Amino acid sequence: MRKANGSRDKGYSYSIGACSIDAAEAWALLKGIQLAASLRLERVCFETDSLNIVKAINQNGTVDNVTRNILHACSRELNKIAMWTISFAPREQNRAADCLAKEFNHSNGLKIFDTTPEVISQILEEDRVGLPVWRQLDSPLL
């Protein structure tokens, strides 16, 4: 979680075990919403690198039943936050979240970080100053 000026405020990681990619993204969103609500934040911008989740929650897009149930819980929790948006952030702009997910996937349950884990310090600083991140393609362009 970051403040409006880009400085880091809190972070979290939540291990859920085996599930679909959409369900994992929905769980991450739910835990982020719950954390924001518990901190009594009034204006929050949530970002995810899952376009399926953004469409499902903002436009009633199609997802499986498990994911739909998690997103229903997200909707209930969002009622606790005065102003919010959920938007798509390409994977390259979501590196810190991806790094946390990979680093702490062996932990159980929710882990809240009051200080920045060392594994994402550089990523957050690069993001804060607006350093571009280039995407590596697996195959050459023709």
Q: Which pLDDT score, from 0 to 100, does residue 8 have?
A: 56
Residue-range domain boundaries for the chain: 11-124
Tokens matching residue 111? 């882990």
Range list of H helices, 39-131: 51-59, 65-78, 95-103, 118-128
Q: Which pLDDT score, from 0 to 100, does residue 111 have?
A: 74
Q: Phi and psi of 110, rounded to 5°? A: -90, 135
Across the chain, mean pLDDT equals 79
For domain 11-124, give the fold. Answer: Nucleotidyltransferase; domain 5 (3.30.420)
Tokens matching residue 52? 């399926």
* Residue bearing the bigger pLDDT, 43 or 109: 43
pLDDT above 90 as % of the chain: 25
Burial 58-86 (b: 16+ CB within 10 A, else e): eeeeebeeebbebbeebeebbeebeebeb
How far apart (Å, rounded) are the C-alpha atoms in residues 34 and 44?
Answer: 12
- pLDDT, mean of residues 54-75: 91
Question: Is the pLDDT assigned to residue 127 strictly greater than 80?
Answer: no
Give CA angle at 136 (11, 132), nearest 5°: 55
Q: Which pLDDT score, from 0 to 100, does residue 72 have?
A: 95
